[in-house]
Amino acid sequence: MELIKRNIHMDCVKCRAFTQMTLEDDVIISDSRPDAAKLILDRGNMVIDEVKVTDDHVAVKGRLEFHVLYLTEKMGGQEGKSDVACMDGAVPFDEMVFMEGVKSGDSVGVDWEIEDLSIGLINSRKISVKSLAGLSLSCEEICDEETAVDLRSEEPIEFRKKTLNVAAMVVKKKDIFRIKEEVEIPGSFPNITSMIWSEITPGTVEFKVLDDKIALQGELHAFFLYRGEGDEEEICHYETTLPFAGSLECPGCREGMIPEIRLRAESREVEVRPDFDGEERVITFEQSLDLDICVYEEDSIDLLSDVYGVVKEVSVQEKNAEFRRLQAKCSGKAKAAGHFKVQEENTMIHKILHTACDLQIGEKNAVEGGIELSGTVELQIFFECSSEGEKYGVIRGSVPFQYLLETDGTLEDCIYPVNACVDQVTVAIIDNKEVDVKCVLYFRANIYRQWKEKIVEQILVSEPDMEKMAALPGIAVYMVREGESLWDIGKRYYVPVSTILQTNNLSSDEVKAGDKILIVKGM
337-347: per-residue pLDDT in tens? Answer: 999 999 888 88
Residues 469-509 pLDDT 10s? 878 888 989 999 998 999 999 998 989 999 999 999 998 88
Integer Cα distance of 323 and 356 in angstroms: 41
Contact between 207 and 216 (Cβ < 8 Å): yes
Gyration radius from the chain CA atoms: 33
User: Can you say how many angstroms the Cα of residue 523 is from the centroid of all Cα atoms in its chain?
Assistant: 60
Contact between 214 and 257 (Cβ < 8 Å): no
Q: For the chain, give percent helix, strand, coil, nearest 5.
A: 5, 70, 25
Integer Cα distance of 197 and 507 in angstroms: 78
What CA dihedral angle connects 337, 343, 344 and 349, to 10 degrees?
10
Q: What is the mean pLDDT of residues 19-43?
A: 94
* The pLDDT of residue 499: 92
Q: What is the mean pLDDT of residues 389-402?
A: 90
Q: Which of 153-157, 166-170, 217-221, 292-296 has the lowest mean pLDDT?
A: 153-157
Best CA proximity match to 479, nearest among 518, 422, 421: 518
Q: What is the mean pLDDT of residues 36-52?
A: 94
Q: What is the mean pLDDT of residues 15-20?
A: 94
pLDDT category at 146 given cuts 50, 70, 90 is confident
Sign, CA dihedral 482-487-492-498, equals positive
* The pLDDT of residue 462: 86
Averaged pLDDT score across all residues of the chain: 91
Give the helix/strand (H/E) hosting 500: helix 497-503
Q: What is the mean pLDDT of residues 208-223?
A: 95
Best CA proximity match to 387, nearest among 424, 433, 456: 433
Is residue 131 predicted with pLDDT exceeding 60? yes
Q: How far is CA 474 from CA 310, 471, 503, 505, in A?
A: 14, 9, 13, 19
What CA dihedral angle connects 218, 220, 221 and 226, to 10 degrees?
-170
* The pLDDT of residue 268: 87
Residues 272-309 pLDDT 10s? 999 999 999 999 999 999 999 999 999 999 999 889 88
CA angle 300, 306, 307 (to 5 degrees): 130
* The pLDDT of residue 449: 93
pLDDT category at 221 given cuts 50, 70, 90 is very high
Percent of the chain with pLDDT over 90: 70
Is residue 77 predicted with pLDDT exceeding 90? no
The size of the chain, in residues, is: 523
* The pLDDT of residue 356: 95
Q: What is the DSSP letter of 33?
A: S
pLDDT category at 156 given cuts 50, 70, 90 is confident
Residues 424-451 pLDDT 10s? 999 999 998 999 999 999 999 999 999 9
Q: What is the DSSP letter of 411?
A: -
Is residue 223 predicted with pLDDT exceeding 80? yes
Contact between 181 and 284 (Cβ < 8 Å): yes
How many CA atoms are closer than 13 Å to the CA of 206, on its beta-carbon side? 7
Integer Cα distance of 13 and 142 in angstroms: 9
Give the helix/strand (H/E) hosting 211: none
Integer Cα distance of 135 and 117 in angstroms: 15
114 three-class SS: strand
Contact between 518 and 486 (Cβ < 8 Å): no
* The pLDDT of residue 473: 86
Strand partners, 87: 68
Residues 307-359 pLDDT 10s? 988 888 888 888 888 889 999 999 999 999 999 999 888 889 999 999 999 99
Q: What is the mean pLDDT of residues 184-202?
A: 94
What CA dihedral angle connects 239, 240, 241 and 242, to 10 degrees?
-130
CB-count burial class (<10 Å; 0-12, 13-18, 19+) for 125: middle
